[in-house]
Amino acid sequence: MAELTECELNALVSLLDDTDEEVRNHVRDRISSLGTEIIPFLEEKWEHSFNPEIQKEIEILVHDLQFSLLKTRLENWKNSEDQDLLTGLWIINTYQYPDLDFEKINAEMHQIYFEVWTAFNNDLAPYDQIRIVNNVLFNSLRFSANTKNFHSPANSMLSTVLDTKKGNPISLCVIYMLVAKKLGLPIYGVNLPNLFVLTYKSEESTFYINAFNKGLVFSRKDVSNYLNHLKIEPKEEYFEPTTHLQMVLRSLRNLANSFDKLGEAEKVDEIKELIAILSD
pLDDT digits (tens, 9 = 90+) for 85-102: 999 999 999 999 999 999
Q: What is the mean pLDDT of residues 36-47?
A: 85
d(CA 122, CA 130): 11
d(CA 191, CA 202): 18
Beta strands in 39-149 (DSSP E): 144-145
Check pLDDT > 80 for residue 243: yes
Nearest of 117, 122, 152, 155 to residue 136 by alpha carbon: 117
Q: Which residues pair with 217 in a beta bridge?
A: 209
d(CA 68, CA 62): 10
What are the C-alpha distances in Å from 158 to residues 79, 89, 100, 105?
Answer: 22, 7, 11, 8
* Through-space distance between the first and last CA atoms of the chain, rounded to whole angstroms: 33
32 pLDDT band, cuts 50/70/90, is confident
Q: What is the pTM of this model?
A: 0.89
Check pLDDT > 90 for residue 248: yes
d(CA 210, CA 155): 16
For the chain, count helices (H), then strands (E): 12, 6
Which residues touch 42 (CB under 8 Å, ≥6 apart)? 13, 31, 58, 61, 62
DSSP letter, residue 137: I
pLDDT in tens, 146-200: 999 989 999 999 999 999 999 999 999 999 999 999 999 999 999 999 999 999 9
pLDDT over 90 percentage in the chain: 76
The sign of the torsion formed by the CA atoms of 134, 140, 145, 147 equals positive
> Which pLDDT value is given to residue 1?
45
pLDDT in tens, 110-159: 999 999 999 999 999 999 999 999 999 999 999 999 999 989 999 999 99
